[in-house]
Structure 1
Amino acid sequence: MAATGANLTEAEAANRLMRLAREIARHNQLYHDRDAPEISDADYDALVRENAALEARFPHLVRQDSPSAVVGAAPTSALAKVTHARPMLSLENAFSPDEVHEFVRRVRRFLSLAEDEPVALTAEPKIDGLSCSLRYEGGKLMLAATRGDGTVGEDVTPNARTIGDIPQQLGGAPAVLEVRGEVYMSKEDFAGLNVRQEASGGKIFANPRNAAAGSLRQKDPAITAARPLRFLVHGWGELTEPLGSTQAECVERLRGLGFPVAELFRRCETVDEALGHYAAIEHARADLPFDIDGVVYKVDRIDWQERLGTVARAPRWALAHKFPAEKAETTLERIEIQVGRTGKLTPVGRLTPVGVGGVIVANVTLHNRDEIARLGLREGDRVRIQRAGDVIPQVVENLTRDEPREPFRFPDHCPQCSSEAVAEEGEVDVRCTGGLICPAQRIERLKHFVSRGAMDIDGLGEKSIEEFAALGWLHGPADVFRLGEHRGELLGREGWKEKSVDALLGAIDARRGFDPARLLFGLGIRHVGIVTAKDLLKCFGTIDALQAAAAGENGIAELSSVEGVGPVVAEAVHDFFHEEHNRREVADLLALARPAAYVSQARETEWSGKTVVFTGSLQTMSRDEAKAQAEKLGARAAGTVSAKTDLVVAGPGAGSKLKKAEELGVRVIGEEEWQRIVAEA
C-alpha cells in the first residue's frame, strides 16, 4: 500500500482514489450500520490517511464521493429516520505527538494568530460507543437519534428513555438544547450480559461497542431496557442560547444540568500539557470501566471554534489522538475466497481464535492477492495480528514464512461460477468476469439495488433476496418490480402472511417514480457512488439522456466534462452502457420504476454555484477562513481569475489577479463588503 502516492502516476492515483472511495464506503457501512466491521480501526485509519495523502498530492483528482467528505453510514431502514438540525461530524485522527503539534499550528495559521498567542485545548477520553444526539425542548427530552451518516440518523427516542444516565427533564436549560455523547456499555456489564445471553441461548456479542449499538437500535424498547447501557456527554448540537464561552465552561454547564461527563476531562493551557494528559489516560486505559481508543482534543474558545468551522466531514477545531494498536500471535488455519457484487475476489483468513485486548478474534481480511504475496501467507502459518479498537484485526507479520511449504495459489477462476478471474491493468483486485451469470454477483447486485443508499426497499432483506432468486423470481433489478406477480405463490410460503406480503409489495410500489440518482447508484456501475450519480444527473437530467450520451461516439469525453467525474469513472459508465444487455436491463427497469428527472435537493442561495477568487493580503481573516466562508455560501473558491469568475475579493497588495479581473469586467469588492455578504447570507 502506497502511503503517500509518491511513486504513482496521475492515472494510477485516480485509479487508487476510486478504489479507496469504494473500499472505505463499504467499511463505513459494515461498522456504522451492521455493527459487523471486517477490519481493524488501525487498518481503516490507514486507508483514510492514504486517501488524504493522495488527495493532497493530486488535488485535481479529488472525487465527489471522496471519503474525506463522508461521515458514518446511511441509517438503516429498520428505524424511522431523523434529519439532524446540525450535522453530527466525524473527527480527524492523529497518531503521533508531531501530528498533534501540527494540528495546533494549523489552528494558528487559520486564525492568523501570533506564535506566542496561547491556544488552550480540552482533552478527554474517546469512548468506543455509539454516537447519540438528545434533543430537549422546554427542558423535556423530545428526541434521541443516532449519528447515521452525519446528516440523517435513526430515531431511538423510546430506547434512550430507558437509559438511566439520560435525564428525562432538565431545569434551567436553554429552550432548545441538543446534547451529544456516546451510548456505551461498561466492561463489567458487557461480561455479565454475555453470560446471560449464553445461558438463554441468545446472541453472544463480540465486544462492548457492538453490544451497545445493537441494544440501542432495537425495535422493542423493552429489549433496550434490559441491557445495561450508559451515556457520557461530550458535546452539543443546536442551541437557542450559548452554554458558555469556552468548551470547558460548556461541559461544566452540561454536568450541572445532570449529564454524566468523563472524569478525565481536562482543560490544558498548552499542547504539551494536553499530550501529558494523553499519556496519563493511556496509562489508566486498562483500569477504566469502559473501552476507549484514544483522546479527543478540542480548541477551548468557542468563538475560535465558530471561526474555524468545518472541512468536509470534520471540524477544524477538534482532533482524535488514537492509541497504538494491540497485537497477538495465532495460526492462520485456512484462506477462503469470497466473491462480492462487483466480482472482486476477497481472501479471508480463518484464525485459531485468540484474545487481543479483551476480545476473541477468529477472522481477518487479507485484502487481495498482492497482500498475501507480500506477507508470504500460507495455510498453517504462524502470524502476528494487530487490533486497534474492537474489530477484526489485520496480519502484520508472518512468523513462519521461511518454513518450506507450498505457496498459496490465488484462484484464476471464480469459485462460484468457474468464469475466468483476472486483474485489470494497474489494479491489484482480481475479479470474476462472469457478470450477471455469476450467482455471487447477481445476488450481491440485487442486495445493493434494494439497500438503504440505493432504492431503500423496506422488507426486502438479504434472506428474501436469496429466497426469491433461488425460486427464479429475481434475475435482475427490474424483477424486483415484478414481485407482485408472485403474490399468490408468496402467500403459500413459510413466514409470509398476507400482512407482510402486502407490506413488501407496498414498499416496492412506493419506490416507483423514486429518486433517479439512487436508482442509478443501485445499478452497481463500478466507481459510481451516490454523489457521482447525482453529479451525472445534475448534468444530464435523466438516466435515458445519460445513457444516450455515454453510449455515443464521444461518450467518454462528454462524461469526463461533468464536474466531479474523472476519466476512470467516465470510462466505467461508458463501458456499462456500451453493453447491449445492460441497456436492455436498464430499459426494462425504467419502464417499471418510472423515475422522474433529477431535481437537486441542495438549498439554492444567491451565491450557489458561483466562483469567487480572493487576492491580496486579507486583514480580518486568513485565506483558508475566507475560502471556508465562500464554501458555506455554496460558492467555489478558485485560485485564478477567468471569464467564469463571478466575484473577486481584493485586499491590499492585489496584483495580477486584480488586473485581470478588471480587464474581464469581473465584479471586484473589498474585504469589508465581503464580510457584509457573509453576515447577510
Structure 2
Amino acid sequence: MNPTGQTPAQRVQQLRHELERHNLLYYTLDAPEITDAQYDALFRELKDLEDAHPELDDPNSPTRRVGGAVAQAFASRPHRQRMYSLDNALTPEEWQAFLERLGRVLPERAFSFWADPKFDGLALEVIYEHGRFVQALTRGDGETGEDVTDNMRTVRNLPLDLRRHAAKANLPVPELLEVRGEVVITKADFHALNQTQDEAGAKVFANPRNAAAGSVRQLDSRVTASRPLRFFAYGAGETRWPMGDPWPTQHALMEGLGRLGFTVAREGRAVDAAGVEALYAELERTRDKLPFEIDGMVVKLDRLDWQREAGFTARAPRWAVAWKFPPRQAETLLERIEVQVGRTGVLTPVAVLAPVSLAGVTVSRATLHNEDEIKAKDVRPGDTVVVQRAGDVIPEVVRSVPEKRPVGLEPFVFPEACPSCGSRVTRLADEAAWRCLNVSCPAVLKGAIVFFVSKSGLDIEGVGKRWIEILVEKGIVKSPADLFALTLEDLLPLERMGEKLAANFVEAFDKARRSATLARLIAALGIRQVGAQTARTLAGAFRDLDALARATAEELQLLPDIGPEVAQSLRAFFDNPGNRELLERFRAIGLWPSRPADAPAAMGPKPLAGKRFLFTGGLAGMTRSQAEALVEGLGGTAAGSVSKKLDYLVAGQDPGSKLDKARALGVPVLDQEGFETLLRQAGEAPEA
C-alpha cells in the first residue's frame, strides 16, 4: 500500500487516467489546469511504480509517450478500407462542376455538406479495438501503409484509451474504430524546431509537412516523441459498434470524435452550398492567422448513407472534393541557373534564388523545366522573378520582371556539354529536353541505379536512395548488376553501416534476384517511355528478355498501347552494346525471370481475359503489385473495390472488411493456395 491508501495497481490506474486528462487539457483544449512541474511529478511517480511493478505494464501508458527502442524498419500493413486521394477544385467554376457531378450521381437531393480546413500534414489512420489504441498506419499507396504504431503513441494529443471518454460522453465503446486524420506541426513549433536543428548542425526541414512526415517515420520513437506533433481527426474508416452506428452524418461523426478525445478542426461546420463558398472565402482571408498551415478546404457530403451511395472513382470519392487556395506568389532575385542531370540523361535547369518566404516556407530553388521555357519566359540570371508554389507545394518561376532588369543582362545559354561527365549533349528533334547519351555518366548511372531498386523498379525492400548514392559515389557499384555481388566485406567499411544493416542489404538483393518478375525487371531497366503498365504488357507477350530483345519494331507495335515511339525506344535499348552486356550479367547471376515454355503469350489467347480480381490482406512471398501483375499479364484486370462485377476476391492474411462484403455479394473467394492453383491452370505460376 502507498501513502494514498491505494494498492500499486489502483494508484497506477489513477495516475494514468489523471495524466491523460491533463494531456487532453493541454494539447487539445489549450486549457491546462496544472503547471509543468506538477505534471512532471505525477509522471515520475507513475514511472517509478511501473518500474517497481512490471506486471502492471501497459503499452498505452502515458509513460510510453517518451518513445522507446529503435526499430529496424517499418512493416507494411493493409488498410481494411482503402484510403483514397481527393479530387481538387481550383476555381469557383470547378467547385460548381463538382456540385453538378454530384447532382448527376445523386439526383433530386437537397445537399448539405461538412467543410473543414485542409491541413498540410501527413495523412494516416489510427485504429482502436474495444476502445484501446492498437495500431497506426500511414496512408502509403492507399491500399497498404507503414506501421508507425510505436511512434504515434508518443503524439501527446492522441487518445490511447477511449473508454473513459465514451462513458463521459454517454457513447458506447466501439468494438472497432479506425480514425483517419492528419499529423501536423504548428507554424510556431516548426520555426522553433528548425532553429534547434540548425543550431545542432542537423537537417533543416523545408516546410511543416515535411517536418511532420519525417518525424512520424523515425526509426527511433524517442526522436518522434521529441517533436511537437499533433493529430487532427477528419474522418473514419471501418467501424463496428455493439448496437448500431451512432453517427449518421459527417457532422455527427466529427462531433463524436471530439467527444471521444480526438482533436478536430474548430473551423469545421455543416453548411449548404452557399455556406461552403462563404467558409472558403473566410478561410482564405484568415489562413495566415491560423496556427497551422492549410492549403484549402475539404468539402464532404454530410449524410454518410449518401456518401456510400455515391461511391468512388478509381482514385477518389465522388462525394468529396479538396477546394484548394490559389498559389502564393512572391518576387525575388534569380541568382543563377544550375543544370542537373537525371537518370535518363535529361538536363533540367533549376533556378537558384535569393531565399524568399512563400506561404510560410522559405524558397531558395525552383524548377525551370527546360530550355524552351527559359526562352519563353525570358528569364536571365540576375533578373527579379515572380515565384509561386503551385498547390502551395512545388516552387516554380512564373515570369521575369523586365522593368526591374539591370542593364546588360545576357540571356542564359544552355550548356553544350554534360555538367556531370563533360560529354556533348544532344537534343532530339521531337523533344524539348537536352540529353546526355553517355551511359557511363556518373549522374545518369546514379539515377538509373536508384530507380532500379525503387518501388517503380524491382522494389527492393529496405534499401534507401541515399545508400545507393553512397555506393555509386564510392565506386563500389557501377552497374545494377553490381548490387547482387555485394558482400559484407564491401559494405562494412562504410560509415554508419553496421553488421545487421549490411546483412539485411545482402539478403534483400538476393531475395530480389530470386523473386523478381519479368514485368518488374523490364520496368526497372528504365527504358524510355516504358512504365509499369507497358512492362506488364511486354512480360505477358514475351517469355523472357531474350525473346523481347529479338522482337522487331513491327512485332512490338502489334501489342496494345505500344506505338512507333515506344517500339523505337525498346529497339534502341536492346541494340545498345552496353545494355546487352548488362543483361548478360543478369543472366549469369540468375536474375532472369521467365514465363514457363507452355504458357500462352499475350498476343495469343489470354486465359484470364475479362476476369476481374481484387486483392485484400497480405500474400506470402509476393507483394500485391506483383500479384496484380501476374493477373494482368494473363489478360485479367485488378479492381480497386468490391462490387458484383468482381470475378474473384483473393484473400490473404488479415483480409479486413472486403472479405465480408464480397461474401455478402456472392463473389467467389480464393485463398492464396487457390489463387496460385488458378494461375497454374491459366498457364503462369508465380516465381519462387
Q: State the TM-score, normalized to the length of structure 2.
A: 0.72
Structure 1: unaligned runs, 5 residues or longer: 1-75, 611-626, 636-675
Residues 302, 533 of structure 1: CA spacing in aligned structure 2 closer, same or farther, 3 A cutoff? same
Q: Specify the alignment match of 1:120 in structure 2.
A: 112
Residues 606, 330 of structure 1: CA spacing in aligned structure 2 closer, same or farther, 3 A cutoff? closer
Q: Specify the alignment match of 1:548 in structure 2.
A: 547
- Note if 1:316 corresponds to 2:302: no
Q: Specify the alignment match of 1:180 in structure 2.
A: 180
Residues 258, 568 of structure 1: CA spacing in aligned structure 2 closer, same or farther, 3 A cutoff? farther
Structure 1 residue 284 displacement after superposition = 2.0
Q: Specify the alignment match of 1:65 in structure 2.
A: none
Distance in 1 of aligned mates of 2:498 and 2:82? 40
Matched to 1:548, the amino acid is A
Structure 1 residue 143 displacement after superposition = 1.1
Distance in 1 of aligned mates of 2:145 and 2:194? 28
- Note if 1:571 corresponds to 2:568: yes
Q: Specify the alignment match of 2:261 in structure 1.
A: 258
Q: Specify the alignment match of 2:680 in structure 1.
A: none
Residues 315, 497 of structure 1: CA spacing in aligned structure 2 closer, same or farther, 3 A cutoff? closer
Alpha-carbon deviations, 1:431-476, whole Å to 9, x = none? 1121x22121111111111224323445644454344435544222
Q: 1:514·1:595 contact (CA, 8 Å) conserved in 2?
A: no
Q: Specify the alignment match of 1:37 in structure 2.
A: none
Q: 2:379·2:411 contact (CA, 8 Å) conserved in 1?
A: yes
Q: State the TM-score, normalized to the length of structure 1.
A: 0.73
Alpha-carbon deviations, 1:206-239, whole Å to 9, x = none? 2211111111111011111111111111112222
Match of 1:142 among 134, 138, 146: 134
User: How many residue pairs were aligned?
Assistant: 535
Distance in 2 of aligned mates of 1:598 and 1:163? 49
Distance in 1 of aligned mates of 2:442 and 2:246? 57
Distance in 2 of aligned mates of 1:422 and 1:630? 49
Q: Specify the alignment match of 1:104 in structure 2.
A: 99
Q: Specify the alignment match of 2:479 in structure 1.
A: 476
Matched to 2:78, the amino acid is T
Matched to 1:326, the amino acid is R
Match of 2:419 among 394, 415, 426: 415
Distance in 1 of aligned mates of 2:399 and 2:212? 32
- Note if 1:680 corresponds to 2:675: no
Distance in 2 of aligned mates of 1:418 and 1:632? 59
Matched to 1:183, the amino acid is V
Give the 5 Å matches for 1:318-357.
318-357=320-359
Q: Secondary structure at the match of 1:277?
A: helix
Structure 1 residue 256 displacement after superposition = 2.4
Q: Secondary structure at the match of 1:442?
A: helix
Structure 1 residue 130 displacement after superposition = 0.4
Give the 5 Å matches for 1:503-522.
503-516=504-517, 517-522=519-524
Give the 5 Å matches for 1:234-253.
234-241=234-241, 242=245, 244-253=247-256
Distance in 2 of aligned mates of 1:628 and 1:465? 33
Structure 1 residue 374 displacement after superposition = 0.9
Q: Secondary structure at the match of 1:510?
A: helix
Match of 1:292 among 291, 294, 318: 294
Distance in 2 of aligned mates of 1:461 and 1:473? 16
Residues 479, 195 of structure 1: CA spacing in aligned structure 2 closer, same or farther, 3 A cutoff? closer
Structure 1 residue 417 displacement after superposition = 2.2
Q: Specify the alignment match of 1:81 in structure 2.
A: 76
Q: 1:559·1:570 contact (CA, 8 Å) conserved in 2?
A: yes
Structure 1 residue 630 displacement after superposition = 10
Structure 1 residue 387 displacement after superposition = 2.4
Q: Secondary structure at the match of 1:203?
A: coil
Q: Secondary structure at the match of 1:294?
A: strand
Q: 2:154·2:225 contact (CA, 8 Å) conserved in 1?
A: yes
Distance in 2 of aligned mates of 1:529 and 1:77? 31
Distance in 2 of aligned mates of 1:366 and 1:347? 6
**RMSD (Å) for aligned C-alpha atoms:** 3.0
Q: Specify the alignment match of 1:427 in structure 2.
A: 431
Structure 1 residue 407 displacement after superposition = 1.1
Q: 1:349·1:364 contact (CA, 8 Å) conserved in 2?
A: yes
Q: Specify the alignment match of 2:635 in structure 1.
A: none
Q: Secondary structure at the match of 2:572?
A: helix
Residues 338, 243 of structure 1: CA spacing in aligned structure 2 closer, same or farther, 3 A cutoff? farther
Distance in 1 of aligned mates of 2:640 and 2:490? 57
Alpha-carbon deviations, 1:58-81, whole Å to 9, x = none? xxxxxxxxxxxxxxxxxx995222
Distance in 1 of aligned mates of 2:458 and 2:427? 30
Residues 538, 631 of structure 1: CA spacing in aligned structure 2 closer, same or farther, 3 A cutoff? farther
Matched to 1:244, the amino acid is W
Matched to 1:161, the amino acid is R
Q: 2:327·2:392 contact (CA, 8 Å) conserved in 1?
A: no
Matched to 1:229, the amino acid is L
Q: Specify the alignment match of 1:613 in structure 2.
A: none
Q: 1:128·1:389 contact (CA, 8 Å) conserved in 2?
A: no
Residues 575, 106 of structure 1: CA spacing in aligned structure 2 closer, same or farther, 3 A cutoff? same
Residues 202, 632 of structure 1: CA spacing in aligned structure 2 closer, same or farther, 3 A cutoff? farther
Distance in 2 of aligned mates of 1:107 and 1:678? 27
Q: Secondary structure at the match of 1:315?
A: coil
Distance in 2 of aligned mates of 1:628 and 1:596? 27
Q: Specify the alignment match of 1:190 in structure 2.
A: 190
Give the 5 Å matches for 1:443-482.
443-458=446-461, 460-470=463-473, 472-482=475-485
Give the 5 Å matches for 1:135-174.
135-171=127-163, 172-174=172-174
- Report the identity percentage: 43
Structure 1 residue 385 displacement after superposition = 1.0
Structure 1 residue 321 displacement after superposition = 0.6
Residues 467, 629 of structure 1: CA spacing in aligned structure 2 closer, same or farther, 3 A cutoff? closer
Match of 2:440 among 416, 433, 437: 437
Distance in 2 of aligned mates of 1:290 and 1:369? 38
Alpha-carbon deviations, 1:348-392, whole Å to 9, x = none? 111111122232211111111111011111110111111256545
Matched to 1:474, the amino acid is V
Match of 1:592 among 589, 594, 598: 589
Distance in 2 of aligned mates of 1:628 and 1:515? 24
Alpha-carbon deviations, 1:608-647, whole Å to 9, x = none? 259xxxxxxxxxxxxxxxx999987358xxxxxxxxxxxx
Residues 233, 562 of structure 1: CA spacing in aligned structure 2 closer, same or farther, 3 A cutoff? farther
Alpha-carbon deviations, 1:545-604, whole Å to 9, x = none? xx5245323xx344344445454434323332233432331232143243544799xxx9
Distance in 1 of aligned mates of 2:563 and 2:174? 47
Q: 1:77·1:458 contact (CA, 8 Å) conserved in 2?
A: no
Distance in 2 of aligned mates of 1:211 and 1:630? 36
Q: 1:549·1:558 contact (CA, 8 Å) conserved in 2?
A: no
Q: 2:530·2:566 contact (CA, 8 Å) conserved in 1?
A: yes
Give the 5 Å matches for 1:65-76.
none
Residues 608, 255 of structure 1: CA spacing in aligned structure 2 closer, same or farther, 3 A cutoff? farther
Residues 177, 561 of structure 1: CA spacing in aligned structure 2 closer, same or farther, 3 A cutoff? farther
Give the 5 Å matches for 1:631-650.
633-634=645-646
Matched to 2:196, the amino acid is R
Q: 1:629·1:678 contact (CA, 8 Å) conserved in 2?
A: no
Q: Specify the alignment match of 1:15 in structure 2.
A: none
Matched to 1:339, the amino acid is V
